[in-house]
Structure 1
Amino acid sequence: MTRIKTIIVDDESRIRRAIERQVLACGEEWEVIGSFSDGLEAFEAITSNNIEFDLLITDVRMPEMDGLALIKKLNENKTFFSMIVSGYDDFSYLQAAMREGTVDYILKPVDRNQFRAQLGEVKGKIMKKKKEEQEWQDVYERASLLTKTQQIQLLSEVTWSDEIGQPQIDWNGHFPIGAYRLIYLGIDQFLTVTKKMDTNTWEDWHQTIQQIFEKLHDKEINQYYAKNWWWRAGKFNYWILLYCEKESQQHANMLLHDYINHIKKDIQRLTPITVSAAIGNEFRDLRELLHIKDELVMLIQQRIIQGGNKIFYLSDQTNRNQQTPVGIQSTIYKYVQQIITTMENETDDDTINLLQLFFHELEMADSPAFIEESVHLLSIRIIDRWMDFDGFSDESRLLTEALHITKYAGNFSQLKAGVKGWVLKVKKGIARLKEADSGPIQRAKEWIHLHLGDQITVKKIADNVYMSPTYFSNLFKAQTGETVLDYVTKCRLKKAKELLEMSDLKVSDISKMLGYQDTKYFSKLFKQWQGKSPSQYRSDHTINHVD
């Protein structure tokens, strides 16, 4: 029921009580929320407590502040209807009251029936005004909702794809000017969840998390962060953008910490998952959004070292410093190559044992960037070998899976489990491909890898697979997309990279080991392929190595 909030002001207590009784007798929608003995008392109470009301019924002549002065001062900041109840039949009072928007002027003593009739008319005007205000409010809310939906769509597109031209986005046209904070929430159990959970279950959890976001943006945090936007980052992570008109105070930072903690605790209580959060610094220019996004994605990887279910702040200089890559150690290169060697001819246990040594090196690191770079090196080298067997069919999917391991691992144990599972999966795939493709091209590739240091000719390879050189050359090009000699050169130069990274052999010795008697020719070929001479390549890949 819509209530009509009424305030009564008269210096005679008997008349105030009589008016109050008559107002309340007009129906249960009427409500008297204040009764005062003079205009000054009423004005101070209304303004200091920010009282909202619909109707003011006041006498004219009162001590301290009369009724007309009260109406005039309240009209400066309030919107309301007013009625004058006066014992003075003075046309000048009536004129003044009309100028201030008074809806009626009633003389004392008040006739009960007349007063009820006047209140009925006032009620109609108030209800009409309330209806119009509600209709405008509905229009405004629908427009605001549409605007917010458009804003979230833009934020989602910008954070999902780096290809959107930042200078082309009119940020000020879409968002208010002020201070912003970006927050990244990442689910800690990404690797285990994706294996066990069906789509419907995750959508149920997503609905729960959505309700948590909407419920917890309460009035207290709204004192500082008046607007908020949240959206999904892929399937298992979320972004939150908070806005305040001016820079937030220290108290606001405490509220923000409590706000994120509430979200984390409620998600952990209502779902079987936990989340970690990365909180960015305050910024005013929304063109910085992408840069801060990248920093937070890196920052949340601290959970690989420190464990999940934590909050990380970009303002923590220690965390920021640890994002800088420190160079891959030579022992990492060694273990990577040994792991790849076991992928084809050794048992799973051999591969797992070398992975444990690889993980041991990573576990001693204090930089997520170093761990990520090392895992990416292993992944890329394994995919290179995979492509030798399978051309270009699955390399993009495999690489995406490998990159997700470091991006979404909730702790170091999850990282190890993810890498181990991925390596053994690819190892099994290579074995399956070798078994399925024991044809002449695969046998030729295996022969080439075993004879990289020999003088290799197309005839030698063709003889090994019992084909004529011409037919073999055409078949090899048709199945692999490259010529036989191009493939031989690629294999030799890839091997040269490994030897330059992992050994102290002279460039001339490496050249001869790979079948190039002319070191200058080898160096020229390597530079054409890699963009650097062998000596430059070795220097770049050993300057930060720790033996």
Structure 2
Amino acid sequence: MTQIRTVIVDDEGRIRRGIERMVRSLGDEWEIVGVFSDGLEVYEAVINQSLSFDLLISDIRMPEMDGLTLNKKLKSQLSFLTIFISGFDDFEYLQTALRDGAVNYILKPIDKEQFQIQMDEVKQKIQMLYKEKQEWHRMQEKASQLEYTKQLQLLSQMTWNEEKDIAYLEWIRQFPSGCYQLIHISIDQIYSQTREFLPEDWNSWTQSIENIVEETVAGSIRVHQINSWWWRGSKLNYWILLQIQDKAYAPNFLTISREFAEKLRISIHKLTPVTVSVALGHEFNDLALFSDMKNELHSLLQFRMIQGGNQVFETDLFEGIKVQKSKGISSSILKFTEQVINSFAQGKRDDLLKALQGFFREIESLSSPVMINEAIHYLLIGIVNNWIENDGYSEDPNLLTDALNITKNAANFIQFKDRVKMWIVHVMEKMTDLKKEQHNPIQVAKEWIKNNLGDNISIKKIAQQVYMNPNYFCDYFKNQTGETILDYVTSARLEKARELLEKTDLKIYDISLSVGYQDTKYFSRLFKQWIGQTPSQFRNQFSKTSSDN
């Protein structure tokens, strides 16, 4: 058993030393952590030296600070048991002591056998308290593990899910608030090194990578009191979500994340036959932006097609990337690329289409699909970069994802050209709209939400109505209104539902659908959380009140 830490305090040295000898004679289970001559000394040791103990043996009457005052003041700081030493004339004091939680008292002069009996009783009580505390800690740890497992399941589902209605963001309420950062790890598919791997080889190296991730998280993240969740996305990639409560720590938070990402990359390269690319997202304060951050990291990993793998890619690539010369791109293609971007920047549609014709004519003659993709990627990244430079807010992280995705799954070159052309023209029109003054973006967003309550509403869609980056919009909306966008959409939908319950005879199922909830049970549960009654109870109560009037 853990030793019982004991403090002795008495202003009479002879009695104090006698108590100390009797405690030591009880055996190794007892440890004396402090001996003091008055209550004030004990109190100052607790406050200034963080002294802690299980048992306080104290005289009642002492100078500076008496035993009763000491016991009462320390009970607000520590959890411990108390035995008071007193004389026969201290009966009123003893009554007060027992009311204040003293476990027992011993009368002077102290009888050694009686003292031992009292201490055995105290030992049993302390042992019971230890067991209760250990059991409580075990239950707390088990509950924490269950909660963590549930959180991992939610994050894994959101990794696979595409953009959904904002109603499905209720899952974020199961996570703590604070500053978040998402990291994506993807194994570089170097077939020349891995094509000979058997399934059992992959399983072995996958387990090695997971061990490296766990050890690096423990060594570089948890030591800084940063919360972390990591999970496997697929056979070739992993996700890590970091969170810190104190936003004032955020600048150092980013530094720690960078060092962690680089250490992870190096360790996997050194200890396994594969390399990985790591995408490091920027910090965000609202977990409702998880899907946007996920898409942003997918976009970042696209850069390894141009810059190579085995690197850590950060979001500043979106801001700093320029259309640069490449050995695989001819001067004529670069010339048309520059013409396209210039026409795009000036909003000249006819000149843009003419430059695109020349660009497509040049790349159509290329013999390698890799070279075609490289030329297209440079053009699209140039367009995105121009958008970033002229966007009055911060960059749209999904824009590059959309750009790179349009080059996939085209059935032929004609379809490929049409997709690229349509995307560039669409972005140019969007940038033209950006230059128009927005008088009240909050009001515009709220009006759009109210007009689309029954549709699939996402943060990205709302932000697009006011030409804002989703992350910026979430912070802007909360700063301007004092509530999150999720809370506003939920309250708007439920307020509309309440109105329909009062003024129409629509079925609950139909009302649920009309305000954007496909699951009627979920709608009813949410309605009760916000209104205090189920939809049926609310309608019945309203009908009864109306008839009484």
Report the TM range for the smaller structure's normalisation: 0.5 to 0.7
1:142 is aligned to 142
Could you tell me whether the CA contact under 8 Å between 1:302 and 1:368 is conserved in 2? no
TM-aligned CA deviation for residue 289 of structure 1: 0.7
Matched, 1:57 2:49: no
1:173 is aligned to 173
TM-aligned CA deviation for residue 111 of structure 1: 2.6
Q: For residues 86-145 of structure 1, give each alpha carbon's deviation from its aligned partner in whole angstroms, at most 9, with x where no partner exists.
A: 456411221121122111111344333222221111111111112122222222222221
2:523 is aligned to none
Measured at CA, do residues 169 and 374 of structure 1 come closer, stay the same or move farther in structure 2, by a change above 3 Å?
A: closer
Could you tell me whether the CA contact under 8 Å between 1:171 and 1:286 is conserved in 2? no
TM-aligned CA deviation for residue 226 of structure 1: 4.6
1:455 is aligned to none
Q: For residues 241-294 of structure 1, give each alpha carbon's deviation from its aligned partner in whole angstroms, at most 9, with x where no partner exists.
A: 122233142333333333334433443443333433323232222211101111
TM-score computed with the length of structure 1 as normaliser: 0.59
Could you tell me whether the CA contact under 8 Å between 1:224 and 1:252 is conserved in 2? no
1:202 is aligned to 202
TM-aligned CA deviation for residue 314 of structure 1: 2.7
Measured in 1, the distance between the counterparts of 2:220 and 2:118 equals: 43
2:38 is aligned to 38
TM-aligned CA deviation for residue 156 of structure 1: 0.6
Measured in 2, the distance between the counterparts of 1:258 and 1:292 equals: 20
TM-aligned CA deviation for residue 17 of structure 1: 4.5
2:491 is aligned to none
Measured in 1, the distance between the counterparts of 2:321 and 2:294 equals: 14
Measured in 2, the distance between the counterparts of 1:121 and 1:375 equals: 75
Measured in 1, the distance between the counterparts of 2:279 and 2:419 equals: 38
1:92 is aligned to 92
Q: For residues 357-393 of structure 1, give each alpha carbon's deviation from its aligned partner in whole angstroms, at most 9, with x where no partner exists.
A: 6588589889499999998777645xx37xxxxxxxx
Once the two structures are superposed, the pairs formed by residues 398-547 of structure 1 within 5 Å of their partners are: none
2:279 is aligned to 278
1:115 is aligned to 115
Measured at CA, do residues 214 and 35 of structure 1 come closer, stay the same or move farther in structure 2, by a change above 3 Å?
A: farther
TM-aligned CA deviation for residue 333 of structure 1: 4.4
Residue identity matched to 2:160 = W
Could you tell me whether the CA contact under 8 Å between 1:158 and 1:164 is conserved in 2? no
Measured in 1, the distance between the counterparts of 2:179 and 2:279 equals: 18
1:403 is aligned to none
Measured at CA, do residues 368 and 175 of structure 1 come closer, stay the same or move farther in structure 2, by a change above 3 Å?
A: farther
Measured in 2, the distance between the counterparts of 1:248 and 1:105 equals: 50
Measured in 1, the distance between the counterparts of 2:211 and 2:364 equals: 49
TM-aligned CA deviation for residue 218 of structure 1: 4.9
- Consecutive unaligned residues of structure 2, counting only runs of 5 or more, are 324-339, 345-354, 385-399, 429-549
Measured at CA, do residues 63 and 220 of structure 1 come closer, stay the same or move farther in structure 2, by a change above 3 Å?
A: farther
Once the two structures are superposed, the pairs formed by residues 309-458 of structure 1 within 5 Å of their partners are: 309-314=310-315, 318-319=319-320, 333=360, 337-338=364-365, 354=368, 358=372, 367=381, 380=409, 384=411
Measured at CA, do residues 166 and 202 of structure 1 come closer, stay the same or move farther in structure 2, by a change above 3 Å?
A: farther
Could you tell me whether the CA contact under 8 Å between 1:264 and 1:275 is conserved in 2? yes
1:267 is aligned to 268
Could you tell me whether the CA contact under 8 Å between 2:230 and 2:238 is conserved in 1? yes
Measured in 1, the distance between the counterparts of 2:194 and 2:13 equals: 73
Greater displacement, 215-224 / 90-99? 215-224
Measured at CA, do residues 44 and 279 of structure 1 come closer, stay the same or move farther in structure 2, by a change above 3 Å?
A: farther
Matched, 1:292 2:283: no
Measured in 1, the distance between the counterparts of 2:263 and 2:88 equals: 62
Could you tell me whether the CA contact under 8 Å between 1:24 and 1:30 is conserved in 2? yes
1:156 is aligned to 156
Measured in 2, the distance between the counterparts of 1:212 and 1:185 equals: 12
- Consecutive unaligned residues of structure 1, counting only runs of 5 or more, are 340-350, 386-493, 502-529
Q: For residues 129-182 of structure 1, give each alpha carbon's deviation from its aligned partner in whole angstroms, at most 9, with x where no partner exists.
A: 121222222222222211211111111111112155442231353222333222
Measured at CA, do residues 310 and 38 of structure 1 come closer, stay the same or move farther in structure 2, by a change above 3 Å?
A: farther
Measured in 2, the distance between the counterparts of 1:538 and 1:238 equals: 31
3-state SS of 1:26 partner: coil
Residue identity matched to 1:2 = T
1:242 is aligned to 242
Greater displacement, 13-22 / 357-366? 357-366
Measured at CA, do residues 54 and 298 of structure 1 come closer, stay the same or move farther in structure 2, by a change above 3 Å?
A: same
Could you tell me whether the CA contact under 8 Å between 2:322 and 2:382 is conserved in 1? no
Could you tell me whether the CA contact under 8 Å between 2:184 and 2:280 is conserved in 1? yes
TM-aligned CA deviation for residue 75 of structure 1: 0.9
Residue identity matched to 1:64 = E
Measured in 1, the distance between the counterparts of 2:176 and 2:288 equals: 13
Could you tell me whether the CA contact under 8 Å between 2:258 and 2:280 is conserved in 1? no
Measured in 2, the distance between the counterparts of 1:538 and 1:119 equals: 82
Could you tell me whether the CA contact under 8 Å between 1:332 and 1:361 is conserved in 2? no
1:186 is aligned to 186
3-state SS of 2:83 partner: strand
Could you tell me whether the CA contact under 8 Å between 1:305 and 1:368 is conserved in 2? no
Could you tell me whether the CA contact under 8 Å between 1:184 and 1:296 is conserved in 2? yes
3-state SS of 1:197 partner: coil
TM-aligned CA deviation for residue 215 of structure 1: 3.9
1:301 is aligned to 302
Matched, 1:4 2:4: yes
Could you tell me whether the CA contact under 8 Å between 2:277 and 2:310 is conserved in 1? yes
Measured at CA, do residues 531 and 287 of structure 1 come closer, stay the same or move farther in structure 2, by a change above 3 Å?
A: closer
3-state SS of 1:169 partner: helix
Aligned-residue Cα RMSD (Å) equals 4.2
Number of aligned residues: 383
Residue identity matched to 2:199 = T
Measured in 2, the distance between the counterparts of 1:28 and 1:8 equals: 17
